[in-house]
Amino acid sequence: MKTIIEPFKIKSVEPIYFNTPIERKRILKNAFYNPFLIHSDDVLIDLLTDSGTSAMSSNQWAGIMQGDESYAGSPSFFRFEKVVQALTGMPIVIPTHQGRAAEKILFSILGGKGKYFLSNTLFDTTRANIEFSGAEGIDLLCAAGKLPSVPAPFKGNLDTDALKKCIAEKGASNIPLVIITVTNNSGGGQPVSMQNIKDVRAICTEHQIPLFIDACRFAENSYFVKLREEGYADIAVAEIAHELFSYADGCTMSAKKDAFANIGGFLAMHNEKLAMQCRNLLVITEGFPTYGGLAGRDLEAIAIGLQEVVEEPYLHYRIRSIEYLTNKLIEAGVPVMQPAGGHAVYVDANAFLSHIPVDQYPGQALVGAFYEHGGIRSVEIGSLMFGKYAQDGTLIPAQMELVRLAIPRRVYTQSHIDYVSEVIIEVYNKRHEIGGLKIIEEAPLLRHFTAKLAPIN
């Protein structure tokens, strides 16, 4: 087999500024050991997120020039609407400025005290919007998804037995929605099988609970279905995606992921009554329903991106490039989530830094080490992001302590990725020199974005 090459060539480049470990040690200290507080000019390889960081295609840039900026009824909106309708089969399409704006609208309407939203794993902004409404979010991830080192084909699946039990316990009338996140971002970018979605659909139908898809990475998930699920090998990814959406009553989407856009999102659904309530809120918080917080040019970029992302040479390269980095790390003995996910490599920080207790945030400590050693920016997905405090002030840790290295779409080449693997392996070989951290300042919600930390020693 020959090397799988990037299915694009580069027309426009951006410089990377180089700095030294000594400079980065100071930068990290000044940023209070929080990667979100580091200036991106000071980062060599930025794997903080795959959100809004994609390289747009020449077609998307051409679309940007064709954006029509009319306040109402822009042709750019109708092109966008048509693409989303064709993809999802959902007739109602409501643009928002990003994914969390769609969530905010949906959960403001459906949430509130005494309500429960069930999911495989709620993403952090989704959970925050649910909790902000007064409702509670419950993650029901399958057992395989909680074991980082044990490979399985669909570790993003929702545990259907736990779902039935939870519905019986909380009462169907208190559950406004079940939400399946594809792929499961907080759980390692692991895919959900079509069978699991069908099974969840059947349970939802039985209890008359609507099913929504958090669709941010629908194309990556659909490609995994093609690769791993029986009966899908010869079906086009666009068709697989269409089937996936056909089981849902609606979806929320961040176009900053699988739409190659730098900003944008949408809500899509079948229910006209719910849509009317959503649009009423949209006008107050986002804008008129034919632009919803976006410029006409953004709608064009999203529409084109949604068509490009289901192209199979792209997905082949995309999924392979994540697997390539994952496998290099596995070969060197670095503990990572297996198998490779769709958009990121997840390092198991508990295993990597087994000498650091969870209440000293091993994931965050590792994020600092990758930055200081190699200028690589990553993010903790563990107890800094999801930890809670017990009544006595002790930490209730997250399910896993992971460090996510998210790979921006179409941005880095194979040599960038080779460099990343070299840095991580070098850090692994001197892991015993890394110490824990403590929080010195934090916000009540989404604290990882702004928290300030300091070394324990």
Ligand X SMILES: *Cc1c(COP(=O)(O)O)cnc(C)c1O
User: Would you count residue 126 as binding ligand X (CB under 6 A)?
Assistant: yes
Cα–Cα distance, 257 to 409 (Å, whole number)? 8
Could you tell me the CA-to-CA distances from 422 to 322, 412, 419, 427 in Å, in that order? 15, 15, 5, 9
Which two structure tokens, joined as six digits, stand for 391? 């009544």
Minimum distance from CB of 188 to ligand X (Å)? 12
Identify each DSSP E strand in 382-444 by its residue range. 388-389, 395-396, 402-406, 437-441
Buried b (16+ CB within 10 A) or exposed e, 6-26: eeeeeeeeeeeeeeeeeebee
Q: Which of 44, 56, 74, 100 binds ligand X (CB under 6 A)?
A: 100
Q: 284-323: which residues touch ligand X (CB under 6 A)?
A: none
Cα–Cα distance, 263 to 51 (Å, whole number)? 9
Cα–Cα distance, 4 to 354 (Å, whole number)? 36
Placement of tokens 């309407």 in the chain:
109
Site string for ligand X, 37-76 (x = CB under 6 A): --------------x-------------------------
Instruction: Give, to the nearest 10 degrees, the angle between helix 194-206 and helix 237-246.
Output: 20
Among the candidate windows 189-197, 251-259, 350-358, 391-399, which touches ligand X by CB under 6 A?
251-259
Whether 400 contacts 373, CB under 8 Å = no
User: Would you count residue 125 as binding ligand X (CB under 6 A)?
Assistant: yes
Among the candidate windows 55-63, 140-148, 253-261, 319-327, which touches ligand X by CB under 6 A?
253-261
Name the pairing type of β-strands 177-181 and 116-119: parallel
Looking at the Cβ atoms of 138 and 427, the one nearer to ligand X is 138
Q: 184-243: which residues touch ligand X (CB under 6 A)?
A: 185, 214, 216
User: Would you count residue 346 as binding ligand X (CB under 6 A)?
Assistant: no
Minimum distance from CB of 406 to ligand X (Å)? 9
Looking at the Cβ atoms of 115 and 256, the one nearer to ligand X is 256
Count of residues that bind ligand X according to CB under 6 A: 15
Q: 376-435: which residues touch ligand X (CB under 6 A)?
A: none
Which two structure tokens, joined as six digits, stand for 277? 């309530």
Identify each DSSP E strand in 306-390 by its residue range. 344-348, 376-377, 379-381, 388-389
Looking at the Cβ atoms of 34 and 254, the one nearer to ligand X is 254
User: What does the CA dihedral 291, 296, 301, 306 come to, rounded to 10 degrees?
Assistant: 30
Helix ranges (DSSP H) in 67-115: 75-88, 99-110
Minimum distance from CB of 236 to ligand X (Å)? 24
Minimum distance from CB of 263 to ligand X (Å)? 8
Looking at the Cβ atoms of 142 and 434, the one nearer to ligand X is 142
User: Would you count residue 35 as binding ligand X (CB under 6 A)?
Assistant: no
Among the candidate windows 249-257, 381-389, 423-431, 447-455, which touches ligand X by CB under 6 A?
249-257
Buried b (16+ CB within 10 A) or exposed e, 423-446: bbeebbeebeebebbebeeeeeeb
Looking at the Cβ atoms of 248 and 434, the one nearer to ligand X is 248
Identify each DSSP E strand in 97-208 by its residue range. 116-119, 136-139, 177-181
Among all residues, whose Cβ is closest to ligand X? 99
Looking at the Cβ atoms of 216 and 329, the one nearer to ligand X is 216
User: Would you count residue 448 as binding ligand X (CB under 6 A)?
Assistant: no
Q: 154-183: which residues touch ligand X (CB under 6 A)?
A: 181
Looking at the Cβ atoms of 250 and 436, the one nearer to ligand X is 250
User: What does the CA dihedral 153, 193, 179, 348 come to, rounded to 10 degrees?
Assistant: 10
CA angle 139, 144, 150 (to 5 degrees): 140
Minimum distance from CB of 98 to ligand X (Å)? 3
Upstream peptide bond of 455 is cis (omega within 30 degrees of 0)? no
Minimum distance from CB of 195 to ligand X (Å)? 21
Q: Which of 77, 123, 154, 324 binds ligand X (CB under 6 A)?
A: 123
Q: Which of 63, 265, 374, 382 binds ligand X (CB under 6 A)?
A: 265
Looking at the Cβ atoms of 51 and 290, the one nearer to ligand X is 51
Among the candidate windows 123-131, 156-164, 167-175, 266-274, which touches ligand X by CB under 6 A?
123-131
Looking at the Cβ atoms of 197 and 334, the one nearer to ligand X is 197
Phi, psi of 347, deg, nearest 5: -90, 135
Looking at the Cβ atoms of 181 and 338, the one nearer to ligand X is 181
Contact footprint for ligand X (CB under 6 A): 51, 98-100, 123, 125-126, 181, 185, 214, 216, 254, 256-257, 265
